[in-house]
Amino acid sequence: MKKYDYLIVGSGLYGSTFACMAARSGKKCLVIDKRSQTGGNLYCENVEGINVHKYGAHIFHTSNKEVWDFVNSIVEFNRYTNSPVANYKGKLYNLPFNMNTFYQMWGLTTPETALAKIEEQKREAEELMCAEGVSEPRNLEEQALLLVGRDIYEKLIKGYTEKQWGRKCTELPAFIIKRLPVRLVFDNNYFNDKYQGIPIGGYNKLIEGLLKDAEVMPDTDFFHDRERWMNIADKIVFTGKIDEFYSYCFGKLEYRTVRFEEEVLSTPNYQGNAVVNYTEATVPYTRIIEHKHFESFGAEVYDNPYTVISREYSTEWSEGMEPYYPVNDTRNSQLYQQYKELADMEENIIFGGRLAEYKYYDMAPIVESVFKHFND
Ligand code: FAD
């Protein structure tokens, strides 16, 4: 008899949701995490009474009612609606591309005139490519021009995308942008999902609730005492890096990361919105997040005389940095497949979450994937 039914390596959303579901079915879990706090990338730190998203701004969104009801059964979510604004050379544009954006860009007030303008610019791009004898877009720039035309591309896509990927749009593959939806309504709600929000009191409340019936050991790295942890439970749920689990035997997987520059300001309201994207190439950061706007609305914003902002710099990843985004190129996909083949042969180890599956996952699909595990 082992001491636990499950050893869960990592207290991020995958590990914590797994711990909650396992406890609900009467299982005993130990959750270890190498960080000093739980919650993985959802972790928030309280700074001047404001929940600061330490590993990047997180907005929960889903159309899956089961997932929404589940997270709300742990902690109630607020009414936050993501409606980012783009700043291009000091001029502001609403996102996603909608009638507000088209009014700001061209002064057009009707869906018919906005659509005609976009179609005209798309046609110009097509004609230009035709004249060059190009039938399929050869790169992201050509793809974006065909989808939305030059004005939207140059003001709202080009600089931001180049900063995000650290490469020129003409050097990025076309497939990165499959669709660029334009909305012919005055609607700044970024997501199409039915439900969205932020846990009232912050994400730490969600994680605390999910972990309430598990034993939790922070500051504990699985690899520092691998032998012990491998034998402490009937099954292991591993949510760390899959290549590290196999001692990088096939080579290292690569990532892109984000560097956050945090600042506390003695002003109650810096930019009037949680998310402002900087879409010109000469501004080095991609976005400024003002954290208090995730949880205080209207006049409440002024209850706290301080605010906290984070400038986000998209950066090449190297050892020691946070591995945020998997790189979906051929080398890394093939490498991951090699590790996955080893993982598929394990009988008592479940590999789950963004690092173990080397996959970008939003939060709701993480919860769905834990549900799937328990339903199968
Ligand atoms: P993680 O949160 O990374 O948790 C893994 C945990 O394992 C970590 O706590 C880590 O310390 C621990 N661990 C790793 N190795 C070991 C080890 N050897 N020993 C012990 N512990 C270990 N999703 C949304 O839905 N909306 C958003 O707005 C959103 N914004 C995002 C912004 C950014 C910048 C990023 C990178 C992601 C964003 N996401 C968002 C996605 C979201 O972060 C993920 O869905 C979620 O964090 C995945 O949870 P996880 O448990 O798989 O991974």
d(CA 18, CA 150): 46
> Hunting for tokens 């939790």 — which residue is that?
216
Active-site residues, by number, are 179, 183, 256, 287, 312, 360, 362
| pLDDT number for residue 329 | 85
Ligand 1 atom closest to Cα of 221?
19
d(CA 229, CA 231): 5
Ligand 1 atom closest to Cα of 43?
2
**Residue type at 216 in one-letter notation:** V
Tell me the angle at which helices 158-165 and 140-148 cross, rounded to the nearest 10 degrees: 150
Q: What is the pLDDT averaged over residues 39-65?
A: 98
Residue 311 near residue 279 (C-beta atoms within 8 A)? no
d(CA 173, CA 326): 16
- b/e code 240-266 from CB counts within 10 Å (16+ = b): bbbbbbeeeebeebbbbbbebeeeeee
Decide if pLDDT at 112 tops 90.
Answer: yes
- Is 188 close to ligand 1, i.e. is its CB under 6 Å away? no
How many Cα atoms sit within 13 Å of 75 on the Cβ side?
19
Enter the tokens of residue 289. 């997040």
The percentage of the chain sitting over the pLDDT mark of 90, rounded to a whole number, equals: 93
Q: What is the pLDDT averaged over residues 174-201?
A: 94
CA-to-CA dists, residue 336 to 71, 176, 243, 318, 319, angstroms? 31, 20, 8, 18, 18
CA of 354 to the centre of ligand 1 (A): 7
| DSSP class of 338 | H
Model confidence at 179, pLDDT cuts 50, 70, 90, reads confident
CA-to-CA dists, residue 214 to 173, 189, 210, 223, angstroms? 45, 37, 9, 21
CA-to-CA dists, residue 224 to 215, 221, 252, angstroms? 19, 5, 19
Q: What is the pLDDT of residues 297-334, one digit of tens each?
A: 999 999 999 999 999 999 988 888 999 999 878 999 99
Q: What is the pLDDT averaged over residues 6-26?
A: 98
d(CA 42, CA 59): 10
29-32 and 215-217 strand pairing: parallel
CA-closest candidate to residue 293, choices 314, 312, 313, 276: 276
Domains defined for the chain, CATH in brackets: 4-76+195-253+325-375 (3.40.50.720), 97-177 (no CATH)
- Is 310 close to ligand 1, i.e. is its CB under 6 Å away? no
Model confidence at 250, pLDDT cuts 50, 70, 90, reads very high
- Is 29 close to ligand 1, i.e. is its CB under 6 Å away? no
d(CA 179, CA 192): 14
3-class secondary structure, 341: helix
Q: What is the pLDDT averaged over residues 243-271?
A: 97
| pLDDT number for residue 319 | 86
Decide if pLDDT at 371 tops 90.
Answer: yes
- Is 59 close to ligand 1, i.e. is its CB under 6 Å away? yes
Whose CA is closest to atom 33 on ligand 1? 56
| pLDDT number for residue 239 | 98
- Is 84 close to ligand 1, i.e. is its CB under 6 Å away? no
Q: What is the pLDDT averaged over residues 62-68?
A: 98
**Average pLDDT of every residue of the chain:** 96
Q: Following DSSP, what letter does each residue of 234-285 receive, concatenated?
A: EEEEE-S-HHHHTTTTT----EEEEEEEEEEESSS-SSSSSEEEE-STTSS-
Ligand 1 atom closest to Cα of 365?
45
Enter the tokens of residue 332. 């890394």
Decide if pLDDT at 236 tops 90.
Answer: yes
Bridge partners of 265, per DSSP, are 307
Model confidence at 137, pLDDT cuts 50, 70, 90, reads very high
| pLDDT number for residue 228 | 96
CA of 38 to the centre of ligand 1 (A): 11
CA of 40 to the centre of ligand 1 (A): 5
| pLDDT number for residue 81 | 98
Q: What is the pLDDT of residues 208-224, one digit of tens each?
A: 999 999 999 999 999 99
Ligand 1 atom closest to Cα of 223?
18
| pLDDT number for residue 15 | 98
| pLDDT number for residue 344 | 98
- b/e code 104-143 from CB counts within 10 Å (16+ = b): bbeebeeeeebeebbeebbeebeeebeeeeeeebeebbbb
Residue 160 near residue 278 (C-beta atoms within 8 A)? yes
- Is 4 close to ligand 1, i.e. is its CB under 6 Å away? no
CA of 203 to the centre of ligand 1 (A): 12
d(CA 26, CA 210): 14
| DSSP class of 77 | B
Decide if pLDDT at 59 tops 90.
Answer: yes
The percentage of the chain sitting over the pLDDT mark of 70, rounded to a whole number, equals: 100
| pLDDT number for residue 376 | 83
Q: What is the pLDDT of residues 141-170, one digit of tens each?
A: 999 999 999 999 999 999 999 999 889 999
